[in-house]
């Protein structure tokens, strides 16, 4: 697609590219408080990586809600004032770095000046949190447990109808994506979820400087989009029935909805085979991240040295 002069306004000045389940929803709420920043109401646009992607599952899940072309994408920023810096937060940009970077460079007239932001969470903790999210919302069409999902992920990635949320390894091993963004862009700022959770104000102060706006105090006492610590397991047929009953949520009384949910779910612990499968992969990824970030990540690596693995709190 050729970019015309009329299409060069209101391109984003910054992108928060991930990672999912690492505080990006809270970050979106915090940054929208800043008068010099403009973020669209649609937190995740999916534009740069869904454009020309054979996997269009996100548009199937959210028909008509997300931009499919450049004019529709730019329209999300049309209410920004000339004095504001525009940006958006789409964690899946970290999941599809090659396609995302290619489309940014294809469509963005000032891509060399773009600010890229990441928040990275310890991979296994992040993956378990993502697994909770998927099963709580019945996003897995096959209702697989985590271990079976991990073993079948290569096959599932080849299915263009499979929701990308179930690509747990692609969602949670970051080193390849981090290196790709560091190579493609001059301005990349990377934070750890541990730091953001412990002192969000310190991270936000630094981030505001990176984005080129006046650092101001933002309200950070509330966090958003926290996953329930309860494990949910659904039989595939029950999961399918639950999805088909979603429209009834608008008319059924809440106690009945809760009762139906209780009948189709049960608490589940994480299969220790899944953790054993993940540990060497996470360790290799974190060791590579240490070099890319030039930061000691021993507090992550030590988690892989014990027999067990704690369950994430969110």
d(CA 76, CA 73): 6
SS3 190: strand
Q: So what's the pLDDT on residue 219?
A: 93
Domain boundaries, the chain: 5-233+268-305
Is residue 109 over pLDDT 70? yes
List, in order, residues 6 or more apart from 251 with CB less than 8 Å away: none
Question: pTM of the predicted model, to two decimals?
Answer: 0.82
Tokens coding 235: 């039989």
Check residue 264 and give its pLDDT. 46
Give the alpha-carbon dihedral of 222, 30, 172, 169, to 10 degrees: 90
Checking if the pLDDT of 7 tops 50, the result is: no
Q: With a cut of 60, say whether residue 245 has pLDDT above it.
A: no
What pLDDT score was predicted for residue 148?
A: 96
Q: Of 18 and 224, which is predicted with more confidence?
A: 18
Kindly report, residue by residue over 117-138, the tens digit of the pLDDT: 999 999 999 999 999 999 899 9
For the chain, what is the largest distance between any 2 Cα atoms, rounded to a whole number of angstroms?
59
pLDDT of residue 2: 40
* Amino acid 68: pLDDT: 94
Q: What is the DSSP string of 185-236?
A: -SEEEEEEHHHHHH-HHHHHHHHHHHHTS-------S---SPPPSS--B--H
Per-residue pLDDT, averaged over 221-233, amounts to 51
User: 3-class SS at 187?
Assistant: strand
Question: pLDDT of 22-67, one tens digit each?
Answer: 999 999 999 999 999 999 998 899 999 999 999 999 988 888 889 9
Distance between CA atoms of residues 197 and 272, nearest Å: 27
Q: Length of the chain in residues, anyone?
A: 314
CATH code matching the domain that covers 5-233+268-305, chosen among 3.30.450.20, 3.40.50.2300, 3.30.300.130, 3.40.50.300:
3.40.50.300
**Whether residue 275 has pLDDT greater than 60:** yes
Give the pLDDT score at 271: 84
- As a whole number, the mean pLDDT across the chain is 86
Q: How confident is the model at residue 235 (pLDDT cuts 50, 70, 90)?
A: very low
pLDDT in tens, 154-204: 999 999 999 999 999 999 999 999 999 999 999 999 999 999 999 999 999
Please report which confidence band the pLDDT of residue 144 belongs to, taking 50, 70 and 90 as the band edges.
Answer: very high
Q: What was the pLDDT predicted at 253?
A: 65
Q: Would you state the pLDDT for residue 62? A: 83
């Amino acid at each position: 697609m050729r970019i015309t002069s009329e299409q060069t306004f209101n391109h984003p000045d910054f992108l928060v590219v991930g990672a999912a389940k690492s505080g990006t929803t809270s970050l979106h709420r915090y940054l929208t408080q800043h008068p010099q920043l403009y973020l669209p109401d649609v937190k995740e646009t999916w534009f740069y990586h869904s454009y020309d992607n054979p996997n269009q599952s996100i548009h199937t899940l959210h028909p008509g809600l997300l931009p499919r072309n450049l004019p529709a994408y730019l329209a999300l920023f049309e209410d920004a004032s000339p004095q504001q810096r525009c940006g958006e937060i789409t964690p899946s940009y970290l999941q599809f770095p090659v396609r995302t970077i290619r489309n940014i460079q294809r469509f963005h007239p000032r891509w060399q000046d773009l600010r890229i932001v990441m928040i990275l969470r310890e991979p296994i903790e992040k993956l378990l949190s993502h697994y909770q999210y998927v099963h709580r919302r019945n996003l897995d069409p096959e209702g697989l447990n985590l271990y079976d999902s991990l073993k079948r992920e290569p096959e599932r990635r080849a299915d263009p109808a499979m929701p990308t949320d179930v690509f747990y390894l692609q969602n949670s091993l970051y080193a390849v994506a981090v290196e790709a963004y560091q190579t493609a862009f001059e301005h990349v700022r990377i934070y750890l979820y541990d730091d953001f959770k412990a002192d969000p104000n310190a991270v936000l102060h630094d981030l505001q400087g990176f984005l080129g706006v006046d650092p101001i105090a933002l309200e950070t006492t509330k966090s958003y989009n926290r996953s329930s610590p309860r494990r949910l397991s659904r039989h595939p047929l029950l999961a399918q029935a639950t999805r088909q009953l979603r429209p009834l949520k608008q008319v059924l009384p809440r106690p009945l909805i809760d009762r139906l949910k209780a009948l189709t779910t049960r608490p589940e612990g994480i299969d220790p085979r899944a953790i054993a499968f993940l540990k060497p992969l996470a360790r290799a990824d974190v060791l590579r991240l240490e070099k890319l970030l030039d930061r000691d990540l021993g507090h992550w690596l030590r988690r892989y040295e014990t027999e067990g693995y704690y369950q994430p709190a969110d």
